[in-house]
Amino acid sequence: MRTDQTFTTGSEELVLAVSLELAAASWKVALHDGGHEKPAVHTVAQPQAAARLQAVLDLIEAHKEKWSLPAGVRTVVSYEAGQDAFWICRALQARGIECYVVDPASIPVERHQRRAKTDRLDVIKLVTNLRAWLRGERDRMHVVHVPSPQDEASRQLMRDRGELQKEVQQHRDRMRKLLVTLGCWDEVGHHAFASRLARDEGRSPCLRQPARPR
């Protein structure tokens, strides 16, 4: 997986770090400005994608005010790569917010924490690693390269084509196994067999009528 780690930040820079733990039913949102002992954690569960994203933006603005942060404070969002792909990243960047998509396998997990896994703990871990990564600790996570929408669509097309080819082969195997039980050994993937079926010639030997004596 390609990574992009060309961004750096000074350790004294004021940054509002935000991390998202994504699930179908809801998202966990962790926010940390570096001045509080623990990050603030919230849940957004709007049923529509646009409304849920807006809820995240509203949380960011609310915590800027609550923590007396400058309106233009650098805000950085991160979330793990998964089924939501890159639309969240693109939407945030279109609104002028830095966003990084993280390789989940790159986030170290301490041995005593492996059994305790919840969305809340995960999002806190992610925002903590994001702040460390912004301070220059590049071993805390790896950032995934975000492809262009065109490249992403092309990749999806190739993945879908591969899945369809697998499904076609699986259906052929089922047909072949069924026909074998009827004494038909024809190759089901051959065009000649399809033609025979169209002419109603694909019959089991046990069902064929015996030839009439002359």
pLDDT above 90 covers a percentage of the chain that reads: 50
Q: What are φ and ψ of residue 119, in 5° steps?
A: -60, -35
Q: What is the pLDDT of residue 208?
A: 57
Reported as a pLDDT band with limits 50, 70 and 90, residue 172 is: confident
98, 195: one domain: no
131, 25: one domain: yes
Q: How many contiguous H segments (helices) and E segments (strands) does the chain have?
A: 5, 5
| pLDDT per position as a tens digit, 110-141 | 655 555 568 899 999 999 999 999 999 999 99
Q: What domain range includes position 169?
A: 150-201
Q: What is the pLDDT of residue 195?
A: 77
Tell the residue number behind the tokens 């990574």, with chain if given. 3
Residue 114 within a domain: yes
Q: What is the pLDDT of residue 168?
A: 83
| pLDDT per position as a tens digit, 158-171 | 777 778 888 888 88
| Contacts of residue 38, Cβ cutoff 8 Å, sequence gap at least 6 | 32, 124
What domain count does the chain have? 2
21, 126: one domain: yes
Tell the residue number behind the tokens 């995934």, with chain if given. 144
**Better pLDDT: 8 or 15:** 15
161, 190: one domain: yes
Output the CA angle 21-26-27, nearest 5 degrees: 25
Strand partners, 16: 75
Handedness of CA 157, 162, 167, 168 (dihedral sign): positive
Using CA atoms, how far residue 146 sits from 87, 99, 127, 152, in Å, is 10, 10, 20, 9
Q: Say how far apart CA 147 and CA 207 lie, in whole Å.
A: 58
Q: What is the pLDDT of residue 92?
A: 96
Confidence check: pLDDT of 68 > 70: yes
Reading the block at residue 187, the tokens are: 């190759």
Confidence check: pLDDT of 4 > 50: no
**Better pLDDT: 167 or 27:** 27
22, 115: one domain: yes
Q: What is the pLDDT of residue 65?
A: 96
Q: What is the pLDDT of residue 203?
A: 65
Radius of gyration of the chain from its Cα atoms, rounded to whole angstroms: 28
Confidence check: pLDDT of 199 > 60: yes
**Better pLDDT: 91 or 7:** 91
